[in-house]
Chains A and B, each alone.
Chain A
Amino acid sequence: MIVAQQKPVSEIAQMISDCKKVLFLGCAGCVTVCLAGGEKETDVLASAIRIKRTLESNPLEATTFTCTRQCDPEYIVGIDNLVKDVDAIVSLACGVGVQYLAERFKDKWVVPALDTKFIGGSVVHGLWEEKCGLCGECILHRTGGICPIIRCSKSILNGPCGGSQHGKCEVDKDVDCAWQLIYDRMRALGKLDKLMEIQPIKDWSKSRDGGPRKAIREDVMIDE
């Protein structure tokens, strides 16, 4: 999932300080699962900013709603009537949702309540960890299911580097050396020979180096 975290309340309040009527829009997708922008978080944020504004004698009319997803146009067409009268939309989705809203509601001030952090998963309730660097051409089959792009601090493809110490990465003693993990797992699987195979240079144009990316499946596209 996409993992995001809420910005400080005061920072969000500042973005809408001159607005009188605001829609706080949550997203029932990834940000609900990572407890950053679901229905509960949306209500809490709206409530907090409403109180703050009342205390500042600058009352705010805040409404809340949570879309199924903000990253699919189908789910934001339905909120037209909620958006009509507001001065701004505070989106509690990832950066994708914020942009979809800004595209659809051209005359509205749309601001992000979250910092979109990474693609990852939960370790325990309340803790999330980055796991994929979205490189565009997955190589996990060559690295024992451990991603060196994002879990190795240097994203090297032929580690470990000289900074690997007792299984930990030189950047932080609490960070596991991804290449140590890869080596250990490949050895346990009896597949160390796979690590010896010479690999072609990674094509970074499939990652961000190639500019903004698109994914297409023509067979499911609906012709008008």
Chain B
Amino acid sequence: MPEFEPKIVAFCCRYCAYTAADLAGSMRLQYSPNIRVVEMPCSGTIEHGLILSTFEKGVDGVYIAGCNLGDCHFLKGNVRAIKRVAAVKKILDEIGLGGERLEFFHVPASEGTKFAQVANEMTERIRQLGPSPLNKNAAGNAQKEGGQTA
């Protein structure tokens, strides 16, 4: 059976992680192709509901990447994002999907290597966890829908 290839959505702040992604590209760095980057005006624009609906669509993991503490373009957006991520992790634990499928990372604009490292680290973590039970395209889940237990 081929190795499970997770689908991960990375909500990236325009002023840091998104720029770092560009830098990683210019540096010709290889990083996990499993991530789908969504540009955000600030990591602080992330909302509880957006994270949950992303999981509902069947992605296996989500992370929010923002500036280092003290470096936020809007002063405290990253601090707010960290708190919201913690709150949604609690919800994910409570409903059984597991908070470890969600994370917040600091990725400064100048660190293309950190961007690649985070993408790889999250991909590895989600690969270990296996597909999200909401991911209808994952092999194991398709079987489960057909009435078999994994």
Contact = CB atoms under 8 A, between A and B. Distances in A.
Interface of A: 8-10, 13, 40, 43-44, 47-52, 54-56
A34 to B, nearest CB: 16
B22 interface: no
B95 A52 contact: yes
Contacts of B94: 8-10, 48
Contacts, number: 42
B133 A43 contact: no
Contact of B52 (A44, A54, A56): A44
Nearest to B91: A48
19 contacts: A8-B94, A9-B91, A9-B95, A13-B95, A40-B49, A44-B48, A44-B52, A47-B52, A47-B53, A49-B95, A51-B55, A51-B56, A51-B95, A52-B96, A54-B133, A55-B95, A55-B96, A55-B133, A55-B134
A48 B90 CA distance: 11
Interface string B112-139: 0000000000000000000001100000
B47 interface: yes
Contacts of B49: 40, 43-44, 47
B86 interface: no
Nearest to A57: B144
A13 B94 CA distance: 11
A184 to B, nearest CB: 35
Contacts of B91: 9, 44, 48
Contacts of B48: 40, 44
A186 to B, nearest CB: 40
Contacts of A51: 52, 55-56, 95, 97, 134
A47 B51 CA distance: 10
Interface in B54-84: 55-56
A147 B54 CA distance: 46
Contacts of A55: 95-97, 133-134
B36 to A, nearest CB: 20
Contacts of A56: 96
A49 B96 CA distance: 10
Contacts of B47: 40
A40 to B, nearest CB: 6
Given A40-B48, A49-B95, 15 more contacts: A8-B94, A10-B95, A13-B95, A40-B47, A43-B49, A44-B52, A47-B52, A47-B56, A48-B52, A48-B95, A51-B97, A51-B134, A55-B95, A55-B96, A55-B97
A167 B3 CA distance: 65
Contacts of A52: 95-96
